[in-house]
Structure 1
């Protein structure tokens, strides 16, 4: 995917991220959670999107609804944060922009976080949110699931759990820089370590341990790359060339295709983990979001016929 014109922007962004990571060394999980939610104040919600709290029978979240899209299809979205931090608030600037790009309602879910609520609590909440949409009259063909990082993994895990419960599949799924193998031992952790300013193998293994709480890292609902993906909907996967989760994304696409799924993998040159979140600074972030929106719109349209 596009590389031209990103040198200065992405280089500066990497420097900023590395400096911030160094300044945050030793920060408690509670403080990291507060900082991540506080980031929302730095990135305003685009005009034309209404934000409203959601209550899914005790499960919280936020609706992101563009003007005139009150009855549009729904993207059920799971935020990133390693299953231990992040929220609908921290990702509001991203989900609202996705809503505009897809011309859809986005329901961003505040699923349970570890270590207070370890695996498989997040998966249960994912299925609960999906079932809530179905029970409230949203047709499967008008729904897509999506998420970034851990939320990308949770997207696939939720689909797997919903399949096992006999629920109908949605129209499509999107996964942004998905974390889909919690063994954290693919080759990209070494081959791309110097290029990735956001994730290091030692740190992400500690995060995985908090979420797993002793469960097998190869459990299919924790690491969908170790699952049989048969029966899942079409999916579009985005990954940056400079992230250590590159193999997670590539292997997810391979597994999906092996299972007969219409899966697409887009590798974006020089991009970092979830570069979409920096769309207000990075042209490639804006372009990637538009690509996701167009994909979802096309999938929903194809299911109408």
Structure 2
């Protein structure tokens, strides 16, 4: 009996050790059985208490978009303009505020979090227009005279590319780089290759994404490059860091966008993380997330 108990304890310790070393499979299993709509209802449009305790906060508003400075005093070191994900209908979330806080601590830069206008009050293109207007205000106030970057996850990643398209076409100064985390690049969801990984994605389903796109851009051509950057001209974009997991419905579109950028001479660093799920970068518990964030910091400090 004593040997059986000892062996059972050993197995339990090995299982716990494995989960600590590689929690990805368990988290994916939990996400697979969680309704994403329940998750995205719990948004946090204002900085969380923890973020307010760690950083100084200032805010401005224009055209339905709210911008929050975190540690504005650090802007001479660089500025991270962050655009949140949430399928263009929700957000930002506490995990995203925590991610931005972590990036501030790792880079000593200032951050500017954009809570862009969303439906039903602010359907496309109002969210995009408000975001571009906020960037223009910061430029006019000489707050982006040094190094600055656009960062976005999921819908925020697609929006970051759309903002870069707009700034380029308006002949405005471009950011020093873009960091795109699991970006949603094609709202039409018409790429048949996306189905190859659809069943592997524990978070996002095609029907949910199609419905979100309809809410964000009712009666719009979803192949408009400002909605779906994959259909746009990438020439002249600044350097890009593009990160994606292989267990994502967006994988095929990200690969296609990467090839488009390469063909158009865009300096792009492309990283695929095996078995990683949508916006895994937000979860510090994952070693893949820690690796991705280290790569982001290196990109920002080049």
**Counterpart of 1:36?**
43
User: What is the CA–CA distance in structure 2 between the aligned matches of 1:183 and 1:140, rounded to whole Å?
Assistant: 36
The 5 Å alignment of 1:49-88 reads: 49-57=54-62, 59-65=65-71, 69=74, 71-87=76-92
**Counterpart of 2:23?**
9
Residue 215 in 1 paired to residue 220 in 2? yes
Look up the SS of the partner of 1:210 in the other structure. helix
Question: Structure 1 pair 13/45, CA: closer, same or farther in 2 (3 Å)?
Answer: farther
Q: For structure 1, which segment, 89-98 or 288-297, has the greater mean C-alpha deviation from structure 2 after superposition? A: 89-98
User: What is the CA–CA distance in structure 2 between the aligned matches of 1:113 and 1:90, rounded to whole Å?
Assistant: 19
1:224 Cα deviation (Å)? 0.7
Deviations 1:117-137 (A, max 9, x none): 111112102211211221111
**Counterpart of 2:255?**
250
Residues 152, 159 of structure 2: 8 Å contact kept = yes
Which of these residues, 162, 184, 188, is aligned with residue 183 of structure 1?
188
The 5 Å alignment of 1:1-305 reads: 8-21=22-35, 34-37=41-44, 45=51, 49-57=54-62, 59-65=65-71, 69=74, 71-87=76-92, 91-139=96-144, 141-279=146-284, 281-298=285-302
Residues 153, 180 of structure 1: 8 Å contact kept = yes
1:141 Cα deviation (Å)? 4.8
Residues 122, 154 of structure 1: 8 Å contact kept = no
User: What is the CA–CA distance in structure 2 between the aligned matches of 1:173 and 1:35, rounded to whole Å?
Assistant: 27
User: What is the CA–CA distance in structure 2 between the aligned matches of 1:180 and 1:294, rounded to whole Å?
Assistant: 24
RMSD of equivalent CA atoms? 2.6
Deviations 1:143-166 (A, max 9, x none): 111100000000000011111212
Q: For structure 1, which segment, 170-179 or 101-110, has the greater mean C-alpha deviation from structure 2 after superposition? A: 101-110
User: Based on CA coordinates, which of the two structures has the bigger radius of gyration?
Assistant: 2
Which runs of 5 or more structure 2 residues have no equivalent in the other structure? Answer: 1-17
1:87 Cα deviation (Å)? 2.2
Deviations 1:84-116 (A, max 9, x none): 000275621111112223331111101001232
Which runs of 5 or more structure 1 residues have no equivalent in the other structure? Answer: 299-305
Question: Structure 1 pair 90/269, CA: closer, same or farther in 2 (3 Å)?
Answer: closer
Question: Structure 1 pair 140/170, CA: closer, same or farther in 2 (3 Å)?
Answer: farther
Where in structure 1 do 4 or more consecutive aligned residues deviate above 4 Å? 4-7, 43-47
Residues 89, 212 of structure 2: 8 Å contact kept = yes
Give the alignment's TM-score, normalised by structure 2.
0.85
Structure showing greater relative contact order (alpha-carbon pairs closer than 8 Å, 6 or more residues apart): 1
User: What is the CA–CA distance in structure 2 between the aligned matches of 1:247 and 1:103, rounded to whole Å?
Assistant: 35
